[in-house]
Amino acid sequence: MIQARLIFLAVAVRIIQVKNIFKTKRYIGYSGAVGVFLGVMLWLMSDSQAPATAIDIPVGRIQVSVVEPSPTTMPIYVEANGITQARWPVSLSATFSGHVASLKDNIHPGRLVEAGSVLVTLQDTQYRAELETARARVAEAELRLAEMTNEQHVVEVVGTAKTPYGRYEPHVKAARAQLIASQAALASAQQQLADTRITTPFPAVIIAEQVSPGQWINAGQPLFTLASSESLEIEVELSMTSWQRIGLLAINQSAQVFDPAGIEWAAQVRYLSPVMDSNTRQRSVILEVLFPYQGDTPLLPEQQVEVRFSGAPQPHVVRAPASVLTEEGKVWSVNGSILQLESIDLLDEQADYILFRYRRQPEQSRQLVRYPLSSMLAGQAVTVMQTAEESTS
């Protein structure tokens, strides 16, 4: 409008100039009428096309959807990955050389066998002969000891011997020592004969087989690889944060294990590692799963599994949709109609929900912005659209 009036003033000045140029009344009257007409038109145009002022224009509020979960006391679940390990892996080997005389029927990897089951029998003819020889030597030693003991008794009855030799003391001592040595040789021969029958030391599952019927076996050659069939171990490395979330783990405390097929297994804590890994700065917990090989879908060694621990109940825990979490690990709350950026301690993060605790006034409920924007500012006024469900189920 100011610009239009300035234009009107300029036109008026121009009219005065025209009046001074034209001396006749005719031209003066004509120019005056034209000036008045142009002035009125410019005045009307300035009123109809006046630009809007840039001041005192209110800024519109953004609309936000909120949830209002309440802090509560609940146990914190900690999930981690673990690696299954065979319990008591052992390689059965021959203690001496010989031919395979017999092999247990239907022996193959994956087969469950009882403790003391005979897997392989080696040719034992030589060792039976050595056993009988050892028994004969024991009998000879017993006879020799009996002779010396009798001679000693005769001398003692007569009473004429004056020296230990005359009383047959060294003779009896030597005969007794010979008997002990022959008895030890007999025990060794018996053990060698027993070693021709290779048996399982405990209830086991066969991991590998490296022997064939009629094969020549060298001393120390591995024949079978076994592992305990009654249990399987799982090593889980936990960070210090995870240990704090779980709380105090105790021996035999239960845990849940999920194999790659999604099958759940019950596990319990077998022991806690007494050291911390120097590279990862994590501490391990060893779990035990009982009877993992029974059934149609066994839990096998060297598998990666998911492990879930249930910690002690913790106070002031908030469960909210995962979408409330910002990239900086914080949440936006609405106090009245004003945005506030809240710092939190994140306790657990899943695909669809998070568990956390407010650092400031953790016992107080808040309206949380469900879908925060990167353009939000602390202290910004917003309009709450609606209150969504308090938490995910």
Cross-strand partners of 286: 235, 271
Quick: pLDDT tens for 302-325.
999 999 998 778 899 999 999 999
Q: Does domain 64-76+314-387 have CATH number 2.60.40?
A: no
Q: Predicted confidence band at 59 (pLDDT cuts at 50, 70, 90)?
A: low
pTM flag (> 0.85): no
Residues in the chain: 393
pLDDT at 181 over 60: yes
Task: Give CATH superfamily name and number for 78-87+227-310.
Answer: Efflux pump adaptor protein, beta barrel domain (2.40.30.170)
Q: State yes or no: pLDDT of 27 exceeds 80.
A: no
- Please check whether residue 82 is in contact with residue 304, taking contact to mean a CB–CB distance below 8 angstroms: yes
Average pLDDT value over all residues in the chain: 84
Does the pLDDT at position 78 exceed 70? yes
pLDDT at 58 over 90: no
CA distances from 87 to 16, 96, 211, 229, 239 (A): 114, 27, 23, 8, 25
The whole-number average pLDDT for the span 43-63 is 49
CA–CA dist 78, 262 (Å, integer): 17
pLDDT band at 387 (very low <50, low <70, confident <90, very high): low
Domain regions of the chain by residue span: 2-48, 64-76+314-387, 78-87+227-310, 124-195
**Which one is predicted more confidently, 368 or 348?**
368
Residue 390, both tokens:
């308090």
pLDDT, greater one: 294 or 52 = 294
Q: Is the dihedral of CA 90, 91, 92, 94 positive or negative?
A: negative
